[in-house]
A and B are shown apart, each in its own frame.
Chain A
Amino acid sequence: MNILVLLKMVPDVVEELEVAGDGKSLDTSFLRTIINERDDHALEQAILLKERHGGKVTVVALDAPDIDDTLFATMAKGADRAVKITDAPEGMTTQMAAKLCGQVVAGLLPADLVLTGVQALDDLDGLSAALVAQQLNFPYIGVVTAVTAGGPTATVLKEFAGGVRGEFAVTLPAVLGVQAAEKPPRYVPVAKVRAVMKTNKIETVSAPGDAGAAQIEVRQLAKPVVSSHAEMLEGSPEEAAGKLVELLAQRGLL
Protein backbone atom coordinates (compact mmCIF):
# COMPACT_ATOMS: atom_id res chain seq x y z
CA MET A 1 0.00 0.00 0.00
CA ASN A 2 1.03 3.58 -0.62
CA ILE A 3 1.35 5.66 2.51
CA LEU A 4 2.15 9.35 2.84
CA VAL A 5 3.41 10.58 6.21
CA LEU A 6 3.32 14.24 7.14
CA LEU A 7 5.96 15.27 9.70
CA LYS A 8 6.90 18.47 11.42
CA MET A 9 9.56 19.75 13.75
CA VAL A 10 8.58 21.20 17.12
CA PRO A 11 10.51 22.76 19.99
CA ASP A 12 12.10 20.25 22.34
CA VAL A 13 10.26 21.03 25.57
CA VAL A 14 12.90 19.30 27.64
CA GLU A 15 14.85 22.51 27.03
CA GLU A 16 14.00 25.87 28.54
CA LEU A 17 11.64 27.82 26.26
CA GLU A 18 11.97 31.61 26.15
CA VAL A 19 9.46 34.12 24.84
CA ALA A 20 10.76 36.61 22.24
CA GLY A 21 10.86 40.36 22.82
CA ASP A 22 7.46 40.86 21.18
CA GLY A 23 5.86 38.89 24.03
CA LYS A 24 3.88 36.90 21.49
CA SER A 25 6.24 34.36 19.94
CA LEU A 26 8.94 31.91 20.85
CA ASP A 27 12.55 33.06 20.99
CA THR A 28 14.09 30.82 18.35
CA SER A 29 17.71 31.91 18.74
CA PHE A 30 18.76 28.94 20.84
CA LEU A 31 15.80 26.71 20.14
CA ARG A 32 16.41 23.00 19.73
CA THR A 33 13.79 21.30 17.62
CA ILE A 34 12.86 17.64 17.35
CA ILE A 35 10.37 15.65 15.33
CA ASN A 36 6.84 16.02 16.73
CA GLU A 37 6.48 12.90 18.85
CA ARG A 38 3.05 11.93 17.47
CA ASP A 39 4.42 12.28 13.91
CA ASP A 40 7.20 9.87 14.83
CA HIS A 41 4.49 7.40 15.83
CA ALA A 42 2.68 8.04 12.52
CA LEU A 43 5.92 7.19 10.68
CA GLU A 44 6.37 4.02 12.72
CA GLN A 45 2.79 2.93 11.98
CA ALA A 46 3.40 3.55 8.28
CA ILE A 47 6.56 1.43 8.29
CA LEU A 48 4.79 -1.35 10.20
CA LEU A 49 2.04 -1.36 7.55
CA LYS A 50 4.60 -1.44 4.76
CA GLU A 51 6.34 -4.38 6.42
CA ARG A 52 3.04 -6.25 6.64
CA HIS A 53 1.52 -5.37 3.26
CA GLY A 54 4.37 -4.13 1.07
CA GLY A 55 4.15 -0.80 -0.73
CA LYS A 56 5.86 2.55 -0.34
CA VAL A 57 6.17 5.13 2.40
CA THR A 58 6.74 8.75 1.39
CA VAL A 59 7.53 11.32 4.06
CA VAL A 60 6.61 14.98 3.55
CA ALA A 61 7.81 17.82 5.77
CA LEU A 62 8.16 21.57 5.73
CA ASP A 63 11.72 22.87 5.73
CA ALA A 64 13.01 23.60 9.23
CA PRO A 65 16.32 23.59 11.08
CA ASP A 66 17.62 20.00 11.37
CA ILE A 67 14.92 18.71 9.01
CA ASP A 68 17.46 17.03 6.69
CA ASP A 69 18.82 14.87 9.52
CA THR A 70 15.27 13.96 10.48
CA LEU A 71 14.32 13.08 6.90
CA PHE A 72 17.44 10.95 6.37
CA ALA A 73 16.60 9.16 9.62
CA THR A 74 13.10 8.38 8.32
CA MET A 75 14.65 6.77 5.24
CA ALA A 76 17.09 4.83 7.43
CA LYS A 77 14.07 3.53 9.31
CA GLY A 78 12.34 2.36 6.14
CA ALA A 79 10.71 5.28 4.33
CA ASP A 80 11.24 5.11 0.55
CA ARG A 81 11.08 8.81 -0.31
CA ALA A 82 11.43 12.06 1.58
CA VAL A 83 10.03 15.30 0.23
CA LYS A 84 10.95 18.66 1.74
CA ILE A 85 8.78 21.72 1.13
CA THR A 86 11.00 24.78 0.78
CA ASP A 87 10.41 28.54 0.57
CA ALA A 88 7.38 28.53 2.86
CA PRO A 89 6.63 31.71 4.80
CA GLU A 90 7.97 31.88 8.35
CA GLY A 91 5.75 31.75 11.38
CA MET A 92 2.86 29.87 9.82
CA THR A 93 0.07 28.62 12.05
CA THR A 94 -1.08 25.00 11.87
CA GLN A 95 -3.95 26.01 9.58
CA MET A 96 -1.61 27.80 7.17
CA ALA A 97 1.00 25.03 7.18
CA ALA A 98 -1.69 22.42 6.53
CA LYS A 99 -2.89 24.40 3.55
CA LEU A 100 0.56 24.19 1.93
CA CYS A 101 1.26 20.61 2.99
CA GLY A 102 -2.17 19.48 1.78
CA GLN A 103 -1.42 20.80 -1.71
CA VAL A 104 1.92 18.96 -1.80
CA VAL A 105 0.27 15.78 -0.54
CA ALA A 106 -2.41 16.13 -3.25
CA GLY A 107 0.38 16.18 -5.83
CA LEU A 108 1.83 12.93 -4.47
CA LEU A 109 -1.43 10.95 -4.72
CA PRO A 110 -2.61 8.29 -5.22
CA ALA A 111 -2.15 6.94 -1.72
CA ASP A 112 -4.14 4.57 0.44
CA LEU A 113 -3.38 6.36 3.67
CA VAL A 114 -2.11 9.73 4.79
CA LEU A 115 -0.77 9.47 8.34
CA THR A 116 0.28 12.26 10.66
CA GLY A 117 0.33 12.88 14.39
CA VAL A 118 -3.04 13.53 15.99
CA GLN A 119 -1.69 16.80 17.36
CA ALA A 120 1.51 18.75 17.82
CA LEU A 121 2.87 20.62 20.83
CA ASP A 122 2.55 23.96 19.07
CA ASP A 123 -0.92 23.58 17.52
CA LEU A 124 -3.11 26.57 18.36
CA ASP A 125 -5.63 26.88 15.55
CA GLY A 126 -6.39 23.37 14.33
CA LEU A 127 -5.15 19.84 13.80
CA SER A 128 -3.14 19.10 10.65
CA ALA A 129 -4.74 15.72 9.97
CA ALA A 130 -8.28 17.13 9.96
CA LEU A 131 -7.28 20.12 7.83
CA VAL A 132 -5.51 17.98 5.24
CA ALA A 133 -8.40 15.49 5.17
CA GLN A 134 -10.80 18.32 4.44
CA GLN A 135 -8.60 19.59 1.58
CA LEU A 136 -8.27 16.15 0.05
CA ASN A 137 -11.91 15.27 0.74
CA PHE A 138 -10.74 12.06 2.42
CA PRO A 139 -12.37 10.50 5.49
CA TYR A 140 -10.59 11.21 8.76
CA ILE A 141 -10.38 9.92 12.31
CA GLY A 142 -7.98 10.89 15.08
CA VAL A 143 -6.39 9.50 18.27
CA VAL A 144 -5.53 6.32 16.35
CA THR A 145 -3.47 3.59 18.05
CA ALA A 146 -3.64 0.69 15.57
CA VAL A 147 -4.35 0.17 11.86
CA THR A 148 -5.10 -3.07 10.05
CA ALA A 149 -5.34 -2.73 6.29
CA GLY A 150 -6.59 -5.08 3.64
CA GLY A 151 -9.21 -4.40 1.00
CA PRO A 152 -11.07 -1.17 0.48
CA THR A 153 -11.34 -0.38 4.20
CA ALA A 154 -8.92 -0.22 7.10
CA THR A 155 -9.77 -1.33 10.62
CA VAL A 156 -8.68 1.45 12.91
CA LEU A 157 -8.56 1.62 16.70
CA LYS A 158 -9.22 4.98 18.32
CA GLU A 159 -8.30 5.53 21.94
CA PHE A 160 -10.92 6.90 24.32
CA ALA A 161 -10.40 7.33 28.08
CA GLY A 162 -9.89 4.71 30.76
CA GLY A 163 -8.06 2.34 28.43
CA VAL A 164 -11.18 1.77 26.30
CA ARG A 165 -10.69 1.78 22.53
CA GLY A 166 -13.19 1.91 19.71
CA GLU A 167 -12.90 -0.07 16.50
CA PHE A 168 -13.86 1.74 13.30
CA ALA A 169 -14.03 0.65 9.66
CA VAL A 170 -12.58 3.45 7.55
CA THR A 171 -13.02 3.61 3.77
CA LEU A 172 -9.71 4.18 1.96
CA PRO A 173 -8.09 6.44 0.99
CA ALA A 174 -8.19 8.16 4.37
CA VAL A 175 -6.27 10.49 6.66
CA LEU A 176 -5.51 9.22 10.16
CA GLY A 177 -4.34 11.30 13.13
CA VAL A 178 -2.04 8.94 14.99
CA GLN A 179 -1.76 8.98 18.76
CA ALA A 180 0.55 5.98 19.09
CA ALA A 181 1.89 3.30 16.76
CA GLU A 182 1.34 -0.34 17.61
CA LYS A 183 5.01 -0.54 18.63
CA PRO A 184 7.36 2.13 19.99
CA PRO A 185 9.11 4.11 17.23
CA ARG A 186 12.18 2.16 16.20
CA TYR A 187 15.70 3.25 16.97
CA VAL A 188 18.06 3.72 14.10
CA PRO A 189 21.84 3.80 14.61
CA VAL A 190 23.66 6.93 13.48
CA ALA A 191 25.89 4.81 11.22
CA LYS A 192 22.84 3.69 9.28
CA VAL A 193 21.60 7.27 8.90
CA ARG A 194 25.06 8.27 7.64
CA ALA A 195 24.98 5.46 5.10
CA VAL A 196 21.56 6.59 3.87
CA MET A 197 22.87 10.15 3.51
CA LYS A 198 25.39 8.83 0.97
CA THR A 199 22.94 6.82 -1.09
CA ASN A 200 19.59 8.62 -0.81
CA LYS A 201 18.47 12.09 -1.73
CA ILE A 202 15.86 14.35 -0.21
CA GLU A 203 13.53 15.66 -2.91
CA THR A 204 12.52 19.28 -2.65
CA VAL A 205 9.42 21.09 -3.84
CA SER A 206 8.75 24.79 -3.58
CA ALA A 207 5.83 25.74 -1.39
CA PRO A 208 2.87 25.84 -3.75
CA GLY A 209 0.39 28.68 -3.81
CA ASP A 210 -0.69 30.76 -0.91
CA ALA A 211 -0.84 29.68 2.72
CA GLY A 212 -3.51 32.29 3.38
CA ALA A 213 -3.56 34.54 6.42
CA ALA A 214 -3.74 33.48 10.04
CA GLN A 215 -7.25 33.45 11.45
CA ILE A 216 -6.02 33.81 14.98
CA GLU A 217 -4.05 36.47 16.78
CA VAL A 218 -1.69 35.50 19.58
CA ARG A 219 -2.01 38.42 21.98
CA GLN A 220 0.48 37.12 24.49
CA LEU A 221 2.78 34.13 24.99
CA ALA A 222 4.06 33.67 28.52
CA LYS A 223 5.02 31.22 31.19
CA PRO A 224 1.94 30.05 33.06
CA VAL A 225 0.89 32.16 35.99
CA VAL A 226 0.55 29.51 38.64
CA SER A 227 -1.71 29.62 41.62
CA SER A 228 0.47 27.15 43.47
CA HIS A 229 3.95 25.72 43.33
CA ALA A 230 5.43 22.74 45.09
CA GLU A 231 7.31 23.27 48.33
CA MET A 232 10.79 22.38 47.11
CA LEU A 233 12.81 20.06 49.30
CA GLU A 234 16.42 21.15 49.11
CA GLY A 235 19.71 19.47 49.91
CA SER A 236 21.54 16.39 48.67
CA PRO A 237 19.40 13.55 47.28
CA GLU A 238 19.66 11.79 50.66
CA GLU A 239 18.70 14.95 52.56
CA ALA A 240 15.73 15.69 50.25
CA ALA A 241 14.58 12.07 50.50
CA GLY A 242 14.87 12.24 54.31
CA LYS A 243 12.79 15.44 54.44
CA LEU A 244 10.12 13.88 52.23
CA VAL A 245 9.89 10.77 54.40
CA GLU A 246 9.42 12.94 57.52
CA LEU A 247 6.65 14.93 55.78
CA LEU A 248 4.90 11.76 54.64
CA ALA A 249 5.16 10.30 58.14
CA GLN A 250 3.64 13.46 59.63
CA ARG A 251 0.73 13.13 57.23
CA GLY A 252 0.22 9.50 58.19
CA LEU A 253 1.19 8.24 54.75
CA LEU A 254 3.82 5.74 55.88
Chain B
Amino acid sequence: MASNIWVLAETWRGQVTETTLELLTLGREVAGQSGSQLEAVLLGDKSLAASLGAADNVLCAANVEPTPEAVAAALAQLVKERQPQAVLVPWTNLSMDAGALAAAQLNVPFVNGCKDLKSDAGTLVAQCVVYGGKLEAAVSATTASTLFGVLPGSRSAASPGNAPTVTDVAVTLPEAKVKFTKYLEPEAGGVDITQQDVLIAVGRGIQTQDNMELANDLAAALGGAVCGSRPVIDQGWLPLSCQVGKSGMQVKPKLYIMLGISGAPEHIEGIKGAQVVVAVNTDAAAPVFNASHYGINADLFEVVPALTEAVKAKKG
Protein backbone atom coordinates (compact mmCIF):
# COMPACT_ATOMS: atom_id res chain seq x y z
CA MET B 1 0.00 0.00 0.00
CA ALA B 2 1.24 3.43 -0.89
CA SER B 3 2.01 5.85 1.90
CA ASN B 4 -0.76 8.14 3.04
CA ILE B 5 -2.17 11.35 1.64
CA TRP B 6 -2.30 14.13 4.22
CA VAL B 7 -4.38 17.26 4.48
CA LEU B 8 -3.19 20.06 6.75
CA ALA B 9 -6.34 20.99 8.68
CA GLU B 10 -6.63 24.74 8.85
CA THR B 11 -8.47 26.21 11.80
CA TRP B 12 -9.74 29.74 12.11
CA ARG B 13 -11.11 31.10 15.36
CA GLY B 14 -12.20 27.78 16.77
CA GLN B 15 -13.45 26.12 13.59
CA VAL B 16 -12.09 23.96 10.81
CA THR B 17 -12.22 26.02 7.59
CA GLU B 18 -14.32 25.23 4.53
CA THR B 19 -11.13 24.99 2.45
CA THR B 20 -9.90 22.16 4.70
CA LEU B 21 -13.08 20.21 3.98
CA GLU B 22 -12.66 20.84 0.24
CA LEU B 23 -9.11 19.50 0.43
CA LEU B 24 -10.39 16.41 2.20
CA THR B 25 -12.68 15.74 -0.79
CA LEU B 26 -9.74 16.13 -3.16
CA GLY B 27 -7.45 14.17 -0.86
CA ARG B 28 -9.96 11.30 -0.78
CA GLU B 29 -9.94 11.13 -4.59
CA VAL B 30 -6.14 11.10 -4.71
CA ALA B 31 -5.90 8.50 -1.93
CA GLY B 32 -8.40 6.34 -3.84
CA GLN B 33 -6.32 6.58 -7.02
CA SER B 34 -3.16 5.52 -5.22
CA GLY B 35 -4.72 2.97 -2.86
CA SER B 36 -3.70 4.85 0.26
CA GLN B 37 -5.28 6.22 3.41
CA LEU B 38 -6.35 9.82 3.94
CA GLU B 39 -5.15 11.51 7.09
CA ALA B 40 -5.79 15.01 8.41
CA VAL B 41 -3.13 16.79 10.43
CA LEU B 42 -4.70 18.90 13.16
CA LEU B 43 -2.31 21.22 14.96
CA GLY B 44 -4.19 22.71 17.89
CA ASP B 45 -7.55 22.08 19.55
CA LYS B 46 -8.23 18.34 19.58
CA SER B 47 -12.00 18.80 19.89
CA LEU B 48 -12.05 20.01 16.27
CA ALA B 49 -11.15 16.49 15.09
CA ALA B 50 -14.91 15.78 15.13
CA SER B 51 -15.23 17.96 11.99
CA LEU B 52 -12.64 15.90 10.15
CA GLY B 53 -14.54 12.63 9.82
CA ALA B 54 -13.96 12.64 6.06
CA ALA B 55 -10.42 11.49 6.87
CA ASP B 56 -9.57 7.91 7.87
CA ASN B 57 -7.48 9.19 10.74
CA VAL B 58 -6.57 12.48 12.36
CA LEU B 59 -3.03 13.11 13.58
CA CYS B 60 -3.36 15.63 16.37
CA ALA B 61 -0.66 17.67 18.08
CA ALA B 62 -2.38 19.93 20.56
CA ASN B 63 0.48 22.17 21.66
CA VAL B 64 1.01 24.12 18.43
CA GLU B 65 0.44 27.89 18.38
CA PRO B 66 -1.19 29.36 15.24
CA THR B 67 1.96 30.94 13.82
CA PRO B 68 3.53 29.94 10.50
CA GLU B 69 6.73 29.14 12.36
CA ALA B 70 5.13 26.69 14.82
CA VAL B 71 2.81 25.09 12.24
CA ALA B 72 5.70 24.62 9.79
CA ALA B 73 8.02 23.13 12.41
CA ALA B 74 5.34 20.70 13.61
CA LEU B 75 4.31 19.69 10.10
CA ALA B 76 7.91 19.22 8.93
CA GLN B 77 8.67 17.08 11.97
CA LEU B 78 5.63 14.85 11.39
CA VAL B 79 6.40 14.49 7.68
CA LYS B 80 9.96 13.41 8.47
CA GLU B 81 8.77 10.82 10.97
CA ARG B 82 5.84 9.40 9.02
CA GLN B 83 6.69 10.11 5.37
CA PRO B 84 3.32 10.66 3.72
CA GLN B 85 3.07 10.43 -0.05
CA ALA B 86 1.95 14.06 -0.24
CA VAL B 87 0.59 16.86 1.92
CA LEU B 88 -2.27 19.04 0.73
CA VAL B 89 -2.06 22.51 2.29
CA PRO B 90 -4.75 25.20 1.90
CA TRP B 91 -3.41 27.89 -0.48
CA THR B 92 -4.86 30.65 1.70
CA ASN B 93 -3.50 33.67 3.52
CA LEU B 94 -3.82 31.67 6.72
CA SER B 95 -1.67 28.69 5.65
CA MET B 96 0.44 29.59 2.61
CA ASP B 97 3.40 30.83 4.65
CA ALA B 98 3.38 27.80 6.95
CA GLY B 99 3.25 25.45 3.95
CA ALA B 100 6.08 27.28 2.20
CA LEU B 101 8.27 27.21 5.31
CA ALA B 102 7.60 23.53 6.05
CA ALA B 103 8.55 22.64 2.46
CA ALA B 104 11.72 24.73 2.75
CA GLN B 105 12.65 22.88 5.95
CA LEU B 106 12.00 19.51 4.29
CA ASN B 107 13.79 20.52 1.07
CA VAL B 108 10.79 19.53 -1.02
CA PRO B 109 8.81 21.73 -3.40
CA PHE B 110 5.70 23.58 -2.28
CA VAL B 111 3.75 23.23 -5.51
CA ASN B 112 1.59 26.38 -5.56
CA GLY B 113 -1.81 27.38 -6.78
CA CYS B 114 -3.11 23.86 -7.47
CA LYS B 115 -6.70 23.61 -8.64
CA ASP B 116 -6.51 19.88 -9.22
CA LEU B 117 -4.33 16.92 -8.28
CA LYS B 118 -4.30 13.43 -9.79
CA SER B 119 -2.26 10.29 -9.59
CA ASP B 120 -0.78 9.42 -13.00
CA ALA B 121 0.83 5.98 -12.94
CA GLY B 122 1.83 6.50 -9.34
CA THR B 123 3.09 10.07 -9.78
CA LEU B 124 1.03 12.98 -8.51
CA VAL B 125 0.40 15.66 -11.12
CA ALA B 126 -0.96 19.04 -10.05
CA GLN B 127 -2.80 21.47 -12.31
CA CYS B 128 -1.48 24.86 -11.19
CA VAL B 129 -2.77 28.34 -11.95
CA VAL B 130 0.10 30.68 -12.90
CA TYR B 131 0.60 34.18 -14.32
CA GLY B 132 -2.53 35.56 -12.67
CA GLY B 133 -4.72 32.86 -14.20
CA LYS B 134 -3.57 33.45 -17.79
CA LEU B 135 -1.90 30.03 -18.01
CA GLU B 136 -1.98 26.71 -16.23
CA ALA B 137 0.89 24.30 -15.65
CA ALA B 138 0.72 20.55 -15.14
CA VAL B 139 3.42 19.94 -12.52
CA SER B 140 4.87 16.80 -10.99
CA ALA B 141 7.50 16.63 -8.28
CA THR B 142 10.61 14.47 -8.20
CA THR B 143 10.58 14.25 -4.41
CA ALA B 144 8.69 12.11 -1.91
CA SER B 145 6.38 13.85 0.57
CA THR B 146 5.87 16.90 -1.62
CA LEU B 147 3.65 19.70 -0.33
CA PHE B 148 0.86 20.96 -2.59
CA GLY B 149 -0.79 24.34 -1.98
CA VAL B 150 -4.38 23.82 -3.11
CA LEU B 151 -6.67 26.72 -4.03
CA PRO B 152 -10.00 27.15 -2.29
CA GLY B 153 -12.88 25.90 -4.41
CA SER B 154 -11.00 22.91 -5.89
CA ARG B 155 -13.82 20.59 -4.82
CA SER B 156 -17.04 20.67 -2.78
CA ALA B 157 -16.56 20.49 0.97
CA ALA B 158 -16.56 16.99 2.46
CA SER B 159 -19.28 16.32 5.02
CA PRO B 160 -17.93 15.74 8.52
CA GLY B 161 -18.95 12.06 8.52
CA ASN B 162 -18.53 9.87 11.57
CA ALA B 163 -16.11 10.77 14.30
CA PRO B 164 -12.68 9.79 12.96
CA THR B 165 -10.01 7.93 14.84
CA VAL B 166 -7.55 10.34 16.39
CA THR B 167 -3.87 9.61 16.91
CA ASP B 168 -2.16 11.91 19.38
CA VAL B 169 1.30 12.85 18.21
CA ALA B 170 4.03 14.75 20.00
CA VAL B 171 6.04 17.49 18.37
CA THR B 172 9.00 19.41 19.75
CA LEU B 173 8.86 23.05 18.79
CA PRO B 174 11.76 25.48 18.59
CA GLU B 175 11.80 28.61 20.72
CA ALA B 176 9.11 30.89 19.30
CA LYS B 177 10.47 33.89 17.42
CA VAL B 178 7.11 34.77 15.88
CA LYS B 179 4.42 35.33 18.50
CA PHE B 180 0.75 36.02 17.88
CA THR B 181 -0.51 38.95 19.93
CA LYS B 182 -4.02 39.87 18.75
CA TYR B 183 -6.56 40.11 15.96
CA LEU B 184 -7.44 43.45 14.40
CA GLU B 185 -11.01 43.55 13.16
CA PRO B 186 -11.91 45.48 9.99
CA GLU B 187 -13.06 48.99 10.73
CA ALA B 188 -16.80 49.13 11.16
CA GLY B 189 -18.91 51.63 9.28
CA GLY B 190 -19.43 52.24 5.61
CA VAL B 191 -21.16 49.81 3.30
CA ASP B 192 -21.32 46.11 4.14
CA ILE B 193 -20.62 44.69 0.67
CA THR B 194 -21.56 41.18 1.74
CA GLN B 195 -25.19 42.33 2.08
CA GLN B 196 -25.57 44.12 -1.28
CA ASP B 197 -27.73 42.86 -4.17
CA VAL B 198 -25.77 44.84 -6.74
CA LEU B 199 -22.01 45.35 -6.67
CA ILE B 200 -19.83 47.28 -9.09
CA ALA B 201 -16.30 45.93 -8.69
CA VAL B 202 -13.39 48.06 -9.82
CA GLY B 203 -9.91 46.85 -10.72
CA ARG B 204 -6.60 48.17 -11.95
CA GLY B 205 -8.19 49.23 -15.25
CA ILE B 206 -9.87 52.17 -13.54
CA GLN B 207 -6.41 53.83 -13.59
CA THR B 208 -7.00 56.82 -11.29
CA GLN B 209 -8.93 57.72 -8.17
CA ASP B 210 -10.87 60.38 -10.09
CA ASN B 211 -12.23 57.68 -12.38
CA MET B 212 -13.87 55.96 -9.40
CA GLU B 213 -16.68 58.45 -9.98
CA LEU B 214 -17.72 56.44 -13.06
CA ALA B 215 -18.24 53.35 -10.91
CA ASN B 216 -20.04 55.36 -8.25
CA ASP B 217 -22.45 56.75 -10.86
CA LEU B 218 -23.21 53.28 -12.23
CA ALA B 219 -23.70 51.92 -8.72
CA ALA B 220 -26.07 54.78 -7.92
CA ALA B 221 -28.09 54.16 -11.09
CA LEU B 222 -28.37 50.43 -10.29
CA GLY B 223 -28.98 50.92 -6.57
CA GLY B 224 -25.81 49.12 -5.56
CA ALA B 225 -22.42 49.71 -3.99
CA VAL B 226 -18.83 49.85 -5.20
CA CYS B 227 -16.19 47.31 -4.20
CA GLY B 228 -12.76 46.49 -5.58
CA SER B 229 -9.95 44.08 -6.25
CA ARG B 230 -6.54 44.20 -4.57
CA PRO B 231 -4.83 46.96 -6.63
CA VAL B 232 -7.61 49.46 -5.88
CA ILE B 233 -7.42 48.71 -2.15
CA ASP B 234 -3.59 48.94 -2.25
CA GLN B 235 -3.92 52.39 -3.78
CA GLY B 236 -6.19 53.47 -0.93
CA TRP B 237 -9.08 54.32 -3.27
CA LEU B 238 -11.42 52.01 -1.33
CA PRO B 239 -11.21 50.80 2.29
CA LEU B 240 -10.09 47.27 3.14
CA SER B 241 -13.69 46.42 4.03
CA CYS B 242 -14.60 46.85 0.33
CA GLN B 243 -12.08 44.30 -0.97
CA VAL B 244 -13.47 41.17 -2.60
CA GLY B 245 -11.44 37.97 -2.81
CA LYS B 246 -8.84 35.93 -0.98
CA SER B 247 -7.86 38.62 1.52
CA GLY B 248 -11.20 40.35 1.45
CA MET B 249 -14.85 39.48 1.49
CA GLN B 250 -16.86 36.64 0.02
CA VAL B 251 -19.84 38.30 -1.66
CA LYS B 252 -23.11 36.90 -3.01
CA PRO B 253 -24.92 39.68 -4.89
CA LYS B 254 -27.62 39.11 -7.51
CA LEU B 255 -25.56 41.20 -9.94
CA TYR B 256 -21.77 41.65 -9.96
CA ILE B 257 -20.24 43.92 -12.61
CA MET B 258 -16.45 43.90 -12.92
CA LEU B 259 -14.76 46.91 -14.47
CA GLY B 260 -11.12 46.59 -15.49
CA ILE B 261 -10.51 43.45 -13.41
CA SER B 262 -8.27 40.81 -15.00
CA GLY B 263 -9.85 37.90 -13.15
CA ALA B 264 -6.94 36.55 -11.11
CA PRO B 265 -7.98 33.53 -9.02
CA GLU B 266 -7.49 35.56 -5.82
CA HIS B 267 -10.39 37.80 -6.83
CA ILE B 268 -12.68 35.19 -8.41
CA GLU B 269 -12.45 33.19 -5.17
CA GLY B 270 -14.61 35.87 -3.54
CA ILE B 271 -17.55 35.85 -6.00
CA LYS B 272 -18.54 32.21 -6.08
CA GLY B 273 -21.91 33.18 -4.59
CA ALA B 274 -22.74 35.86 -7.20
CA GLN B 275 -25.77 35.08 -9.38
CA VAL B 276 -25.15 37.12 -12.55
CA VAL B 277 -21.60 38.20 -13.33
CA VAL B 278 -20.66 40.77 -15.97
CA ALA B 279 -17.15 41.80 -17.03
CA VAL B 280 -15.91 44.81 -18.97
CA ASN B 281 -12.28 44.57 -20.05
CA THR B 282 -10.12 45.71 -22.98
CA ASP B 283 -8.17 42.42 -22.99
CA ALA B 284 -10.20 39.82 -24.88
CA ALA B 285 -7.99 37.09 -23.38
CA ALA B 286 -8.47 38.24 -19.77
CA PRO B 287 -9.36 35.28 -17.53
CA VAL B 288 -12.24 37.35 -16.15
CA PHE B 289 -14.35 36.41 -19.18
CA ASN B 290 -14.10 32.74 -18.15
CA ALA B 291 -15.71 33.58 -14.83
CA SER B 292 -18.54 35.79 -16.16
CA HIS B 293 -21.94 35.26 -17.71
CA TYR B 294 -21.77 38.34 -19.93
CA GLY B 295 -18.73 40.12 -21.27
CA ILE B 296 -18.01 43.37 -23.04
CA ASN B 297 -14.58 43.55 -24.62
CA ALA B 298 -14.18 47.31 -24.73
CA ASP B 299 -12.81 50.33 -22.92
CA LEU B 300 -14.63 50.78 -19.62
CA PHE B 301 -14.35 54.56 -19.98
CA GLU B 302 -16.65 54.34 -23.01
CA VAL B 303 -18.89 51.52 -21.82
CA VAL B 304 -19.62 52.65 -18.27
CA PRO B 305 -21.08 56.10 -19.03
CA ALA B 306 -23.20 54.50 -21.78
CA LEU B 307 -24.32 51.79 -19.38
CA THR B 308 -25.20 54.30 -16.66
CA GLU B 309 -27.30 56.31 -19.11
CA ALA B 310 -29.00 53.17 -20.49
CA VAL B 311 -29.87 52.01 -16.96
CA LYS B 312 -31.32 55.41 -16.09
CA ALA B 313 -33.33 55.48 -19.32
CA LYS B 314 -34.68 51.96 -18.74
CA LYS B 315 -35.63 52.71 -15.18
CA GLY B 316 -37.24 56.00 -16.25
Contacts and interface: CB of A to CB of B under 8 A. Distances in A.
Given A168-B180, A232-B289, A223 B135 contact: yes
Contact of B125 (A127, A142, A219): A219
A228 B178 contact: no
Contacts of B142: 214-217
Given A141-B68, A163-B243, A170-B177, A95 B135 contact: no
Contact of A141 (B134, B178, B240, B250): B178
A248 to B, nearest CB: 7
A85 B296 CA distance: 44
B177 A171 contact: yes
A74 interface: no
A217 B303 CA distance: 44
A166 B184 contact: yes
A217 B255 contact: no
A219 B182 CA distance: 43
Nearest to B221: A254
B138 to A, nearest CB: 4
B139 interface: yes
A222 B290 CA distance: 15
A131 to B, nearest CB: 5
A94 to B, nearest CB: 8
A237 B254 contact: no
Contacts of A251: 276
A122 B113 CA distance: 10
A164 B139 contact: no
Interface in B256-276: 262, 276
Contact of B69 (A26, A129, A141, A184): A141
B177 A254 contact: no
B162 interface: no
Majority secondary structure, A binding face: mixed
Given A126-B110, A161-B94, A231-B295, A13 B139 contact: no
A232 B230 CA distance: 25
Contacts of A163: 185-186, 240-241, 243, 247-249
Contact of B234 (A41, A217, A224, A254): A41
Contacts of A223: 134-136, 285
A161 B96 CA distance: 13
A13 B299 contact: no
Interface stretch (A50-58, A107-115, A132-140): A132-140
B296 A126 contact: no
Nearest to B197: A253
B133 interface: yes
Majority secondary structure, B binding face: mixed
Interface string B126-158: 001111111111111111001000000000000
Interface stretch (B27-35, B46-54, B165-173, B306-314): B306-314
B296 A127 contact: no
Nearest to A238: B306
A134 to B, nearest CB: 4
Given A17-B134, A124-B128, A143-B96, A241 B181 contact: no
Contacts of B243: 163
Given A13-B262, A126-B110, A119 B96 contact: yes
Residue of B101, B222, B250 ringed by the most chain A CB atoms within 10 A: B101
Interface stretch (A1-9, A174-182, A192-200): A174-182
Contacts of B279: 230
A160 B311 contact: no
A247 interface: yes
A81 interface: no
Contacts of A245: 307, 310-311, 314
B210 interface: no
Contacts of A167: 180-184
Interface of B: 12, 67-69, 92-94, 96-97, 100-101, 103-105, 108-113, 125, 128-143, 146, 177-186, 198, 222, 230-231, 233-236, 240-241, 243, 246-250, 254-255, 262, 276, 278-279, 283, 285, 287, 289-290, 292-299, 302-303, 306-307, 309-311, 314-315
Closest 3 CB pairs of A and B: A142-B97, A163-B186, A230-B295
25 contacts: A11-B131, A16-B285, A41-B234, A124-B112, A125-B110, A126-B104, A134-B101, A139-B178, A140-B178, A141-B97, A143-B96, A155-B181, A167-B180, A167-B182, A177-B100, A215-B146, A216-B139, A216-B140, A219-B125, A221-B136, A228-B290, A229-B290, A241-B307, A244-B294, A245-B307
